[in-house]
Amino acid sequence: MTTNQRRGRLPHERDDHYMRLEGAQIVATKALLDVRENIRLAIEAQAMVCIYGATGHGKSLAVNASLRDLAPQQTRRIQFRARPTTPGLRLELFHALGLSGRPPHQNIEFDRMLREALEEPWVVVCDEAQWLSKLCFEYLRYLWDDADTQLTIIFTGGNGCFQTLQSEPMLESRVYAWQELMRMRLAEVRTVIPAFHPIWADADPELIKTCDLEAAHGNFRTWAKITHHLVSGLKETGHGTVDEDLLRWSYSKLRTR
């Protein structure tokens, strides 16, 4: 598949983990299982759902892993890193849906083309949806509202995504399910982290606790980052297992001023 054909598709499994952390496994956390169930119901109902929460809590991974199982062929992702305009959003959808030809110049024609394409049962994931303006949310609602489209929309993003959606009654009332991904509690960390990566499988539970309290704070991306440093640290030092010194060395790298 060429880069253009891959555009908008679900990422490869190898890209699930922070910096492609080798040996990392997807863990079926409670949050991930709830995301999967919400997405399953949303697809069934062709609804809009909103999965939100702070960065690093596992939103993108949970959504991607669930959709790889539930609707791998029908899913297209659109992602934003800066505020898109409505024309920018139209164009993103045009490419993500793999529409052929040139994007129409006239808005009316462009809207008709997208509505027609969305008569197929697509699942569109808007990741980092906190970047969407009210107008962009409105535009997606307009496509979703069309009687002939069969669209499921998964909004994923930081808390700004939740606030914008909540502040628009027209949108808020249409969202079928809301799910906030919180940081993992220590009890969950204790069971999840040993299954996440081999370096934690036989680690002293006290070390996992220390790491969570001092550095990771239940944030999955931080756990992945620390693990990444530790894997390098173990290679460099030739140590077989993580100890307290190596642990402190690794998470000292995370500190910001």
Ligand X SMILES: Nc1ncnc2c1ncn2[C@@H]1O[C@H](COP(=O)(O)OP(=O)(O)O)[C@@H](O)[C@H]1O
Binding residues for ligand X, rule: CB under 6 A, are 17-18, 21, 24, 26-27, 29, 32, 55-61, 196, 220-221, 224
3-class DSSP state of 12: coil
Query: Are 218 and 212 in contact, with CB atoms under 8 Å apart?
Result: yes
Residue number, 56 or 139, with CB nearest to ligand X? 56
Q: Which residues on adjacent β-strands are paired with residue 152?
A: 123
Instruction: Decide: 156 and 128 in contact? Cβ < 8 Å.
Output: yes
- Residue 58's binding partner among Mg ion, ligand X, none (Cβ under 5 to 8 angstroms by kind) is ligand X
Nearer to ligand X, 61 or 124 (CB): 61
- List the single partner that 27 binds among ligand X, Mg ion, none, CB under 5 to 8 Å by kind: ligand X
Instruction: Report the alpha-carbon distance of residue 93 to residue 257 in Å, rounded.
Output: 40
Q: What is the nearest approach in angstroms of ligand X to the Cβ of residue 29?
A: 5
Task: Indicate the Cα dihedral angle 71, 72, 73, 74, nearest 10°.
Answer: 40
Among Mg ion, ligand X, none, residue 99 binds (CB under 5-8 Å by kind): none
Residue 50 per-residue DSSP state: E
CB of 57 to ligand X, least distance (A): 4
18 binds, among ligand X, Mg ion, none (CB under 5 to 8 A by kind): ligand X
Q: CB nearer to Mg ion: give 60 or 152.
A: 60
Contact between 145 and 118 (Cβ < 8 Å): no
Using Cβ positions, the residue closest to Mg ion within the complex turns out to be: 60
Report residue 111 as tokens: 């809207």
Closer of 60 and 149 to ligand X (Cβ): 60
Which DSSP symbol is given to 18? Answer: G
Judged by beta carbon, residue 96 or residue 208, the one nearer Mg ion is 96
- Complex with ligand X: residue 93 or 226, whichever CB lies closer: 226
**Closer by beta carbon to Mg ion, 94 or else 196:** 196
CB 224 within 8 A of CB 230: no
Q: What is the DSSP letter of 71?
A: -
- Describe the strand order of the beta sheet including 75-79 as a list of residue ranges: 75-79, 123-127, 152-157, 48-52, 175-180
Q: How far is the CB of 100 from ligand X (least distance, A)?
A: 31
**By Cβ distance, which residue is nearest to ligand X?**
58
Binding partner selected for residue 61 from ligand X, Mg ion, none, CB under the kind-specific 5 to 8 Å limit: ligand X
Which tokens is 110 given?
């462009």
Pairing state between β 48-52 and 175-180: parallel
17 touches, from ligand X, Mg ion, none (C-beta below 5 to 8 Å by class): ligand X
- Which tokens go with 192? 């999840």
Positions in the binding site for Mg ion (CB under 5 A): 59-60
Which of ligand X, Mg ion, none binds 149 (CB below 5-8 Å, type-dependent)? none
The least distance separating ligand X from the CB of residue 216, rounded to whole angstroms, comes to 11
